[in-house]
Amino acid sequence: MPTSTPTPDRVLVVDDAATSVHLARVRDASTSPTDFIRHARQLGVHLGLAAVADLPVREVEVTTPLGPAPAREPAVPIVAVPVLRAGLGLLQGLQEALPTLVVGMLGLERDEETLEAREYYRNIPPAKGAWVLVLEPMLATGGSAAAAVRSVADLEPARVTVVSVVATQQAVDRILEADPEAHVVTAALDPGLDDNGFIVPGLGDFGDRLFGTPG
Ligand code: URA
């Protein structure tokens, strides 16, 4: 079980030793792009497992070389929805940790007129009754994550969890305002934003560091 810092019941800060090691590496400005990808993937494993720690399971049977053995499998589908493009950094880790995972994609961009997140691409498999994990590593204002949570609501999932690496309290509040039933899992709650909208201390631009694009 992950350790956690006490927070409102729908918000889980995963700060066990293993997760913190990977968080330190992605925060460090001297981490190479290759290592950033590797540690982001590991964060996907740890945060993904924390997000499904209380997933309903059903009892099944598997056959070992010596005969039948009791086993368990998820009782509900799990659907990951990375928000393009930074969310892709967590996806592979989740796929490794959760073998039954199916994946949708959501593209959001800032509408320069309204300054709100605007959806430009959505391809998400049916998710009725599923646990939907929205992958959005940096929850700064929470605008895109709130838009993602609203977007998946019409799929009638049983639970929506935003999986992030670093979040601010204002982002968490905005997500819970968009969907009071939503959950948020993060490796850190940072104090705030700078004048450019970056989380401080944060880790810089997650997408740029993941894909090696200039900031
Ligand atoms: N997006 C990022 O990648 N980093 C931030 O600090 C804020 C938003």
Written as six digits, the tokens of 214 are 């200039």
Residue range 157-201, pLDDT digits in tens: 999 999 999 999 999 999 999 999 999 999 999 999 999 999 999
Residue 69 lies in a domain: no
Looking at the whole model, is its pTM more than 0.85?
yes
Residue 27 lies in a domain: yes
Instruction: Map residue 4 onto helix, strand or coil.
Output: strand
Task: Provide mean pLDDT across the span 41-50.
Answer: 98
pLDDT, the chain, mean? 95
Ligand 1 atom closest to residue 202's alpha carbon, by position in its atom list: 6
Ligand 1 atom closest to residue 86's alpha carbon, by position in its atom list: 3
Residue 156 lies in a domain: yes
CATH number at residue 187: 3.40.50.2020
Pocket test for ligand 1, best of 23, 166, 168, 206 (most atoms within 8 A of CB): 206
pLDDT band with cut points at 50, 70 and 90 for residue 113: confident
DSSP 121-177: EEE----TT-EEEEE-SEESS-HHHHHHHHHHHTT--SEEEEE-SEEEHHHHHHHHH
Whether the predicted pLDDT of 106 surpasses 60: yes
In whole angstroms, what is the distance from residue 23 CA to residue 38 CA? 11
Domain assignment of residue 175, given as a range: 4-56+74-207
What separation in Å is there between the alpha carbon of 199 and the centre of ligand 1?
6
Residue 215 lies in a domain: no
Residue 108 lies in a domain: yes
Within 6 A (CB) of ligand 1 lie 86, 138, 140, 198-199, 202, 205-207
DSSP assigned state of 87: T
Pocket test for ligand 1, best of 199, 200, 211 (most atoms within 8 A of CB): 199
Residue range 90-103, pLDDT digits in tens: 999 999 999 999 99
pLDDT band with cut points at 50, 70 and 90 for residue 214: confident
Residue 67 lies in a domain: no
Number of domains observed in the structure of the chain: 1
Residue 66 lies in a domain: no
Residue 23 lies in a domain: yes
